[in-house]
């Protein structure tokens, strides 16, 4: 006899509590194999194909494309042990268990929006949060395809009738942009009476109108912006950070890169050279490759360097992680950074490639700025920032010359070390930038 098993949206990685259904990869009635991807979802950090741990016949899908689901919400149900797809182990409860980071939760967070199971088969599900259900607008005559409670509230507060809008999303889904466009085009509150002019005697001065309150567009802190906001806020709450910086003459480093690339073989990026300098500096100053265990009141010095680097994409800032960066040479670092950067641009980074960093390299010079005081990427202990490299007057070998100068900044957790250690790390990095031979002598 077939047994129907429910597969829920699994834990997709550190800090990710929800995902958007981008594309279903299976249909109801289709036979799926163990660990076959059944749906493509977009998280705050990446696009992910979610594999189902059960083999059998898909009996139901929950959520239309464009629906956002919380971790732990039902995704699909699968009938296992059917004649068409017998359970080879004779035990319908067995599956691979190999579902990304975890296997979800037994109950979705109450504060997250829910998709009602009875609505999953309709073309236009309407999801509301528990806290907003009582404030929902009166029932509309006929189904209106709206997903976000924010969209419904925005329309309600501006007196906009959603039945009059044509949605630009999948299957006519009404998006926030549709509501905002309608408001910009001059939509007004239906039935709103015109203001009545009250005559004022000439002997009485006309009171000045009350100042209008400032209005603007509300942007929800969700998706990648929400994940960044949560992480940076936690960093500011927990980490007593400090920043030190130094200007360095990068002329010789730039020359060294030109010579290395002229010798043939794969090209080496400047970021890869800076990454190699970072791993050498962390070997000398391991205090900065650590984390703080607040519960145990201990500093945990890590024996492996998983180097994160900031990458700006169309979806926002992400920090891919080069694993075991301390074991890689400049050529290997350059290849891995290039691979991760391309994955970041296309939104195909996996959760594993976005988590587990122990130190971050931030090249904000690409934005045309010289310096910054970045926030430490919690739970790491330090971040090296690199400004733009520009020609500047510089005293070189006792004479004034025009050299390629860069500002280096180190933001660090003052709990893991004092200023002497941080200054020593930064000075070593600057020495390697000014004289790349220093790095060769210490390898």
Q: Give the residue numbers annotated as catalytic, written as ranges.
A: 414, 418
Provide the token pair at 379. Answer: 């739970």
CA distances from 276 to 178, 272, 315, 324, 432 (A): 48, 6, 28, 12, 10
Cβ partners under 8 Å of residue 342, min gap 6: none
Considering only CA atoms, which of 384, 364, 430 is closest in space to residue 289? 384
Considering only CA atoms, which of 98, 24, 403 is closest in space to residue 251? 403
Considering only CA atoms, which of 105, 47, 23, 43 is closest in space to residue 72? 105
In contact, 4 and 346? CB cutoff 8 Å:
no
Q: Give the burial class of 174: count Cβ atoms within 10 A of its Cβ; 0-12 exposed, 13-18 middle, 19 or more buried.
A: buried
- CA 291/CA 379 separation, integer angstroms: 6
- CA 52/CA 117 separation, integer angstroms: 19
Provide the token pair at 122. Answer: 């309709």
Helix (H) or strand (E) holding 245: strand 241-249
Total residue count of the chain as it appears in this document:
443
In contact, 422 and 242? CB cutoff 8 Å:
yes
């Amino acid at each position: 006899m077939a047994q129907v098993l429910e597969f829920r949206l699994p834990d997709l990685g550190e800090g990710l509590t929800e995902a958007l259904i981008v594309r279903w990869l299976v249909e109801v009635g289709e036979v799926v194999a163990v660990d076959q991807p059944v749906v493509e979802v977009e998280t705050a950090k990446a696009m992910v194909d979610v594999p189902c741990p059960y083999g059998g016949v898909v009996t139901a899908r929950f959520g239309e494309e464009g629906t956002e689901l919380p971790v732990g919400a039902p995704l699909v149900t699968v009938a296992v042990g059917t004649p068409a797809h017998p359970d080879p182990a004779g035990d319908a409860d067995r599956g691979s268990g190999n579902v990304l980071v975890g296997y979800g939760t037994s109950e979705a967070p109450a504060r997250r929006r829910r998709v009602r199971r009875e609505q999953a088969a309709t073309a236009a599900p309407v999801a509301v949060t528990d806290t907003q259900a009582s404030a929902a607008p009166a029932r509309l005559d006929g189904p209106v395809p709206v997903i976000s409670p924010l969209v419904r509230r925005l329309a309600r507060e501006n007196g906009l009738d959603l039945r009059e809008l044509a949605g630009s999303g999948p299957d006519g889904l009404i998006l926030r942009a549709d509501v905002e466009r309608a408001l910009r085009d001059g939509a007004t509150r239906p039935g709103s009476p015109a203001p009545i002019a009250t005559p004022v005697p000439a002997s009485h001065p006309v009171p000045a109108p009350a100042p209008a309150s400032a209005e603007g567009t509300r942007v929800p802190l969700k998706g990648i912006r929400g994940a960044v906001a949560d992480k940076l806020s936690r960093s500011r709450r927990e980490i007593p950070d400090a920043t030190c910086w130094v200007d360095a003459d990068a002329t010789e480093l730039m020359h060294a890169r030109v010579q290395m690339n002229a010798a043939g073989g794969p090209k080496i990026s400047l970021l890869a050279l800076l990454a190699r300098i970072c791993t050498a500096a962390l070997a000398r100053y391991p205090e900065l490759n650590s984390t703080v265990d607040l519960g145990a009141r201990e500093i945990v010095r890590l024996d492996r360097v998983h180097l994160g680097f900031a990458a700006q994409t169309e979806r926002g800032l992400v920090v891919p992680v080069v694993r075991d960066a301390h074991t890689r040479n400049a050529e290997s670092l350059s290849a891995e950074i290039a691979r991760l950067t391309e994955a970041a641009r296309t939104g195909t980074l996996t959760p594993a490639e976005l988590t587990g960093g122990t130190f971050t390299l931030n090249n904000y010079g690409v934005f045309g700025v010289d310096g910054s005081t970045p926030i430490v990427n919690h739970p790491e202990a330090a971040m090296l920032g690199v400004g733009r490299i520009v020609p500047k007057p510089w005293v070189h070998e006792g004479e004034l010359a025009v050299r390629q100068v860069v500002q280096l900044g180190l933001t660090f957790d003052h709990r893991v070390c004092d200023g002497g250690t941080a200054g020593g790390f930064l000075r070593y990095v600057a020495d390697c930038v000014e004289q790349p031979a220093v790095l060769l002598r210490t390898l």
